[in-house]
Amino acid sequence: MKTKTEQILAVMNVLAWITFIGLMVKAGAILVSYGISTFNLFPPKNLYKGLDLSQLKEFSFFHYTVSVSFMVAILILEAYVAFLVTSALSKIKMANPFTIEVSHILERISYFILGIWIVAMLSNVHTDWLSKRVDGLQLNTIPGEFIFLAGVVFVFSQIFKKGVEIQSENELTV
């Protein structure tokens, strides 16, 4: 019989996989819509779920491409973080929870979240610049909480490293 913690970890693993798949589908849908819109098969008035970038494409195809690239880059980075979460959750064993492997995965997660923050801030700068030049552009800026989240995950990775050290010391003294 699984403990409550093991059940929670299993549910979180499933949710992380669902998030990973959903983010990849969303990134793929935006890329396909962008590809089709570049050949003028349909205007980018409904790029993805009502996202209207037609004015931006009319203003500059380059800036249209950059904006879509930022969206896709953020989605792919978020999907990779979700994948790393699934990897970390699958490696945690309740008998021996602190492993260097999990600690390294958590550290990588924090670095990729920091990368998401950097890309999001670059996207925000680009969006602000565009909003001053393109009338009626409806691009949303991305909140900057990623830097806080990256810090929290990094602290957890350091706690895991310390847990690995303590656990290995305890194994040596037994």
Q: What local confidence, expressed as pLDDT, does residue 44 receive?
A: 62
The amino acid at residue 64 is Y
Return the pLDDT at 173. Answer: 63
C-alpha–C-alpha distance, residues 58 and 157, integer Å: 46
Q: What is the mean pLDDT of residues 138-153?
A: 77
Asked if the model's pLDDT at residue 152 lies above 60, the reply is yes
Q: How confident is the model at residue 150 (pLDDT cuts 50, 70, 90)?
A: confident
pLDDT at 1 over 60: no
Range in 39-53, 96-110, 111-125 the model is least confident about? 39-53
**Per-residue confidence band for 66, with pLDDT thresholds at 50, 70 and 90:** very high
Q: What are φ and ψ of residue 53, in 5° steps? A: -115, 20
pLDDT category at 41 given cuts 50, 70, 90 is: low
Conformation bin of residue 139: beta by default, left when phi > 0, alpha when psi is -120 to 50 = beta
Q: Which two tokens stand for residue 94?
A: 């309740």
Distance set, CA 95 to CA 3, 119, 167 (Å): 12, 38, 11
pLDDT at 174 over 60: no
Positive or negative: CA dihedral 20, 23, 29, 30: negative
pTM: 0.85
pLDDT winner (highest mean) among 75-89, 98-112, 160-174 = 75-89
pLDDT of residue 45: 67
Residue 42 has what pLDDT?
64
Q: What is the pLDDT of residues 122-145, one digit of tens each?
A: 998 998 898 888 877 767 777 777
